[in-house]
Structure 1
């Protein structure tokens, strides 16, 4: 996802901070409460009327059981709390009167003319120079690079080396004639480049440069005359050619900047000074609640225990420009060159290390490396929104899981350079057991890589006691939805869902070695899978592997090796399995599905059976539909796919661009030229602010540049709302504001050597789409109701609410289980739980889950807060989901 707008941040802040004061007050009853505010004094008493000025001063005073209540403001300091005790933790909490930001940056001043259109300031940037970050007017400023790229680091523009290049030399006739000595060369190259690497330029000449480093595995990871020869250069003053770009001279401690048009006057430049704004590496039994982080991150330590991080909002947490080999001491097994993939896993992201610590209800975004690192034993990461991370292209994912006994559930992870959820063999060794990874929604992964998946395990791991269940993986440019790679065994997968994940739903890769006792049961796989629903391949020993009750479009296959041989049975392979809406990922069953009662009993897996036998697939017919992901603002964004049509300016059939299947492709007739276009008719008005243009995993055919224009009627077109450059697998056009339109036009702005290709066009909005299935248990507000994993139970006066829902329709459909004899109903209200009733669904009787539809009093359009309020006494109904459609 893009950088969040202030209006969204205000919503998040309102939702996250107002409950904080009550929580903090209750914890404070056992100890002393100190207040902190920017207008205070560190010599004050710390009362509400005489607050302290810095959080550090409060932490210097607190003892176990005490609380620091922090008032609205920005605090340029590093927090290092002392430890509390199990029965008397120390609490640092936002007071609730506005955002509380711990800022890891400091302002850079003293700018002087440096010649050549540049300005420079003498400044000492404390972090390791590889971790420097610079911000211009509170936006990330890009380090000077060639070739230039757009503002989104996940939409990367690459240079392509000539075929005469060798392992440590790049030949490129397009390379500008400049002194590149000492620059960092970033490589994504080889016959099958499953990792990215960096090296240092040693000599340069016109059209060529030599470098040292990188190329740890040649092939498949090297420059030379390979299928992929992509690279870019950073870390050189010669690359400064676009306003806002910067270069830091480490030896001279001088920051150079190409200023905006009109000069540096009136602009604010800040630079990172603190890697860890909240450093809990020596702390235990500390609660951090409702704080924001900007340009810095948070970590616990290997000995930390009892730390709770709740409602954190962390932005621009990690930045770096090199991918060095990890130190030998960080590796769990003897080092060798292939361990370049583990670069930066242990020194980036929000880090939850130690035993029995928790990260919950938080939003983590904008990281060159990890989103979250969880490492140790028995930690919990739940109900978090993690996005726009891992853009440097190593194995740093949205959530990195190392160790044993962790719980990672109900997280939404999207827009990652490689995996959304990953575990690194190089760091775990053989220790990865008894972990529970469930109810996570992982999408838009593999943005800067090609060999991987949204969920990835590697390698040689024994996953005994680990369960990967009830997750959804979709809309990713890797090869599989779930990938258990290279000799790993004893992994149990069940009740997972995948669509638009490339070749397979799940792949257990023996890779000329063992793949023992791996299982997948009761999973559902949909469109956008073109090789196998489930595959176990390349194994010399697949003993004890077992795949059953799978529903999918392609076969379930397993290497016939081992004793006992793998079991493959009771699976439904069909292109018409009776899914509700496969294109939109609604893979639950309709009444006539052949999967109903067609499964077999699997101990510990088929535990909630309705009917004569277990159903095949991930959803038991007649039971409430379980959901994945977090329930924070932003967690539900994708706009429901409808009856879309597309036409190409060259007259070719472009229907495959809007069929919802990433494996179908439209290809233009001629090489790319400015003015070529695709026009899409959405069939009805949709509200959105981002378009994803997916060109698959090929590196040829992605646009070199394009614009997006919108129209309500298909005849009158506005000025372009987005301009995009870069050639990543999926390119995002982000609008400055949320917009409603029925028609969109994508127009090329640059030429390219290959014809334009598009596999899929997707739309995203800043709130949930009411025409999609809104799961009741994912409501952003639940009052009085009992929230379960698949539904909520409502009594009279209870309610669930969804904030800023995009609505365009006149009919409400709900799925409910009535629990009222008479006089009950579910009321749909807009904008406030006490506002007008726009629809009412009568509820009476008791019985099974059922769908009911009513007509709204009037058609509703636009973005509204949406509430379902239960009317009656006692129990009214269980609510599974609702939709509003035309």
Structure 2
């Protein structure tokens, strides 16, 4: 095999220095109009005499012109006209502060309504199912029974009695009230892979009848089933805690339980506009640097040449029911199972049409999709998408319909079901020529069990599509990558999965074909307890081929059908020689059995060092590729160290902190207030969120708990977070970043079964320097180009920086490659490229471009949150950087 020299060194002379990220960009060749809240309608539109509304500006622009929008909040719908291919129209933030397009309007005129409530007469123009209300700029919850916390992905459910039937709920805990007309939300059945809603038709003590829901009973129905979860909304009877609201659409009256100090002095707004930026009839428009609040953005089926850049969209979609999609939305003949596709086309930031782009954006807080991608040849890249899909249908972080799309370098975190999904009911069976690569998918499957962070169904033909270099982890579904129900021609390679449940990748023939599916050079780690790869129930597996896989569990193929898949050159071992499996660093170390043990696969094993390809997703000696975006928030998980846990009841709690989602600690007795777990992190870490994961079991989640911290294990803080709700993964969110070594999790409520925890994870606001900081995920760079793994060569004075890194350590380790023939170094500096010098790593060139890891002691231990810069000094070609860490 050929020895692949370091391409970044060979190509350094071809590089041009790129501008620093975040600099203001030119408005374009045409006229620039200015817009500001302090402007006027009759102004000229200059910077000195700006226009007052974005709409006024858009009524004047022509192809090539720009609307430059000054800081402020704009309560309007933005409808840009079309530009041309050579002269697009630009709508952009000017750069003097946040520019927010707000889809809400104030609700005023509050009066006492009795029974501890206030009301206001207001005409909410949206379909009542899409109403959303905000109290003091936070989402206010629609009145609900049983009560739940503020996080809709941390929901509290009622559990019906086993005597319930398909259209009747029996529940002795149901409050005695008139629930007629309320919406009942169901997560019920023998294996409920989607949620449904119905309407209450009659109530009596401990009982209610409803219609709707219950499609395909079983597995999706109420009754004597494994799952009998439900809650009620849409009824005035549910109003019983501050901030809850109910809208009487007949009287056009909004009711609310006011804060404890009354409604005076508080701000209430309600959603008035679904689409704050509506590009459904626009082409050749650039939208850059806008914030959206309580509204969303869409392009149209005929849109082309639209670029959406640096969007920050929050609370984009809200709805309370899950109706069957209309037949007109379906690409295949309708049947009742299509309930799973409910609201996919009604929600999210929507990139439709041909040749449009969404990039460098943060999309968050949606009952449905994060992003809907539909049409042909669109691009979604370098976005942070999180906290979406909480209503529990198949609305994912990114919904992909159509052909020829590029979906790369996105971080998708905390979703009700899948991180990335396609709905064949809406898409049809074609899924051609899509590239889905370098995405980081985590904390998926919060409101479902049967599914995966990456999920496709059904009967799709993925010819020409590639799903590669993705990471899938920390999800409570069945599998990391799931190609379900007769789908074929999926090329999977160089993917990574850990803590995904039963399998790494699954191809489900479902008593049908699984044709042309391939998985090559993927790595599967801890938290997989069934199969590393599974091909199940395939009657025909022609051209299905699995090779160069490393994983802890066997590759399984159901022995039915003809022909069977080709399965060879794989390594099944619990000792693969990975760097740090618990933290998902599944790249090989020296002496690993994966090195040079693989087979050549045309088009897949292209970067080879040594005698043969390595098995798995990383080639030993090559740069370590990374997945996900490089925006603030994209890197949050705190590195798992030598953590230990002890239980107040004396039971062995090692499973809480072993980093394996499939091991479980269970308390010795039913839950009662005061039971606790104490966790020692081994060293101080910085975090602002704790996740307690109870795996895929349907019992054992705490009914309530609090979290306190300590630096010494003796003196404890007051509780920093209190959590109620019984979702499978429960998050304790702290009001601020916290640095501590010890945690104490104490039950605050009783329950009928013992407490159970499968995994404990910590997250911080910003990257953790103890994890591996990949160079290509640096937030800012100067004079160097980032690749999909490592950087190209830094010259003297070039640098790369990571913003708001959580630091706690005194040793810097750098992996770099250099051809420098003189004295060269990489300097670690704090807060700025010319900030305090913490440490210097000398680098020396090697003729073969060999990557070297070097460690140095820092001048002092550094703690807290800081910007971190690595600055090159010493010559025109100092070094290419792969990664760095700061640890104790």
In the alignment, what sits opposite 1:256?
255
In the alignment, what sits opposite 1:14?
none
Q: What secondary structure does 2:230 align onto?
A: strand
Displacement of 1:263 in angstroms is: 1.2
Displacement of 1:20 in angstroms is: 6.3
> How far apart are the structure 1 equivalents of 2:501 and 2:540?
26
Counterpart contact for 1:364–1:386, Cα < 8 Å: yes
In the alignment, what sits opposite 1:622?
621
Counterpart contact for 2:21–2:780, Cα < 8 Å: no
Displacement of 1:19 in angstroms is: 6.3
In the alignment, what sits opposite 1:196?
195
Counterpart contact for 1:422–1:457, Cα < 8 Å: yes
Displacement of 1:558 in angstroms is: 2.0
In the alignment, what sits opposite 2:863?
861
In the TM superposition, what are the counterparts of 1:650-799 in structure 2 within 5 Å? 650-792=649-791, 793-799=793-799
In the TM superposition, what are the counterparts of 1:530-609 in structure 2 within 5 Å? 530-561=529-560, 564-609=563-608
Counterpart contact for 1:112–1:119, Cα < 8 Å: yes
Kindly tell me the number of residue pairs found equivalent between the two proteins: 867
Q: What secondary structure does 2:433 align onto?
A: coil
Whether 2:77 is the aligned partner of 1:78: answer: yes
> How far apart are the structure 2 equivalents of 1:553 and 1:426?
35
In the TM superposition, what are the counterparts of 1:796-811 in structure 2 within 5 Å? 796-811=796-811
Q: Structure 1 stretch 865-874 or stretch 555-564: which is displaced more? A: 555-564
In the TM superposition, what are the counterparts of 1:327-476 in structure 2 within 5 Å? 327-476=326-475
Q: What secondary structure does 1:822 align onto?
A: coil
> How far apart are the structure 2 equivalents of 1:745 and 1:570?
46
Distance 1:511 1:631, change over 3 A: same
Displacement of 1:873 in angstroms is: 2.2
In the TM superposition, what are the counterparts of 1:521-536 in structure 2 within 5 Å? 521-536=520-535
Displacement of 1:863 in angstroms is: 1.1
Counterpart contact for 2:20–2:780, Cα < 8 Å: no
Q: Structure 1 stretch 508-517 or stretch 618-627: which is displaced more? A: 508-517
Counterpart contact for 2:117–2:256, Cα < 8 Å: yes
In the TM superposition, what are the counterparts of 1:99-178 in structure 2 within 5 Å? 99-178=98-177
Displacement of 1:265 in angstroms is: 0.5
Counterpart contact for 1:20–1:289, Cα < 8 Å: no
Counterpart contact for 2:498–2:527, Cα < 8 Å: yes
Counterpart contact for 1:308–1:357, Cα < 8 Å: yes
User: Normalization by structure 2: what TM-score?
Assistant: 0.97
Distance 1:329 1:274, change over 3 A: same
Displacement of 1:885 in angstroms is: 0.8
Displacement of 1:860 in angstroms is: 1.1
Displacement of 1:481 in angstroms is: 0.3
Displacement of 1:520 in angstroms is: 0.2
Displacement of 1:413 in angstroms is: 0.2
> How far apart are the structure 2 equivalents of 1:255 and 1:435?
46
> How far apart are the structure 2 equivalents of 1:300 and 1:491?
28
Counterpart contact for 1:54–1:75, Cα < 8 Å: yes
In the alignment, what sits opposite 2:24?
22
Counterpart contact for 1:333–1:427, Cα < 8 Å: yes
In the alignment, what sits opposite 2:13?
none
Q: What secondary structure does 1:845 align onto?
A: coil
> How far apart are the structure 2 equivalents of 1:637 and 1:835?
24
> How far apart are the structure 2 equivalents of 1:845 and 1:280?
52
Whether 2:846 is the aligned partner of 1:831: answer: no
In the alignment, what sits opposite 1:3?
none
Q: What secondary structure does 1:43 align onto?
A: coil
Counterpart contact for 1:55–1:79, Cα < 8 Å: yes
Distance 1:808 1:783, change over 3 A: same
Displacement of 1:132 in angstroms is: 0.4
Q: Deviations over 1:662-681 (max 9, x none)?
A: 00000001011111100000
In the alignment, what sits opposite 2:633?
634
Q: What secondary structure does 2:611 align onto?
A: coil
Q: Deviations over 1:210-264 (max 9, x none)?
A: 0010001101110011111000000000000000000000111110000001211
Q: Deviations over 1:763-802 (max 9, x none)?
A: 0000111111000110001111111110112111110000
Counterpart contact for 2:20–2:782, Cα < 8 Å: no
Q: Deviations over 1:184-205 (max 9, x none)?
A: 0000000000000000000111
Gaps of 5+ in 1: 1-16
Q: Structure 1 stretch 736-745 or stretch 789-798: which is displaced more? A: 789-798
Displacement of 1:18 in angstroms is: 10
Counterpart contact for 1:516–1:541, Cα < 8 Å: yes
Whether 2:182 is the aligned partner of 1:183: answer: yes
Counterpart contact for 2:833–2:869, Cα < 8 Å: yes
Q: Deviations over 1:723-743 (max 9, x none)?
A: 000000100000000000000
Displacement of 1:429 in angstroms is: 1.3
> How far apart are the structure 1 equivalents of 2:738 and 2:163?
48
> How far apart are the structure 2 equivalents of 1:838 and 1:648?
40
Q: Deviations over 1:114-171 (max 9, x none)?
A: 1111111111111111000000000000000000000000001000111111100001
In the alignment, what sits opposite 1:813?
813
Q: Deviations over 1:298-345 (max 9, x none)?
A: 000000000000000000000000000001010000000000000000
In the alignment, what sits opposite 2:852?
850
> How far apart are the structure 2 equivalents of 1:708 and 1:559?
46
Counterpart contact for 1:20–1:95, Cα < 8 Å: no
In the TM superposition, what are the counterparts of 1:203-218 in structure 2 within 5 Å? 203-218=202-217
> How far apart are the structure 1 equivalents of 2:20 and 2:840?
31
Distance 1:755 1:156, change over 3 A: same
Q: Deviations over 1:80-113 (max 9, x none)?
A: 0000000000000000000000000000001111
In the alignment, what sits opposite 2:94?
95
Counterpart contact for 2:32–2:68, Cα < 8 Å: yes
Q: Deviations over 1:32-58 (max 9, x none)?
A: 100000000011000000000000000
> How far apart are the structure 2 equivalents of 1:742 and 1:560?
51
Counterpart contact for 1:559–1:566, Cα < 8 Å: no
Q: What secondary structure does 2:101 align onto?
A: strand
Counterpart contact for 1:542–1:559, Cα < 8 Å: no
> How far apart are the structure 2 equivalents of 1:715 and 1:586?
34
Q: CA RMSD in A?
A: 1.0
> How far apart are the structure 2 equivalents of 1:112 and 1:457?
50
Counterpart contact for 2:458–2:484, Cα < 8 Å: yes
Q: What secondary structure does 1:819 align onto?
A: coil
Displacement of 1:560 in angstroms is: 4.1
Whether 2:636 is the aligned partner of 1:648: answer: no
Displacement of 1:565 in angstroms is: 3.1
Displacement of 1:512 in angstroms is: 1.0
Q: What secondary structure does 1:219 align onto?
A: coil
Gaps of 5+ in 2: 1-18
User: Normalization by structure 1: what TM-score?
Assistant: 0.97
Displacement of 1:758 in angstroms is: 0.2
Q: What secondary structure does 1:130 align onto?
A: helix
Whether 2:291 is the aligned partner of 1:289: answer: no
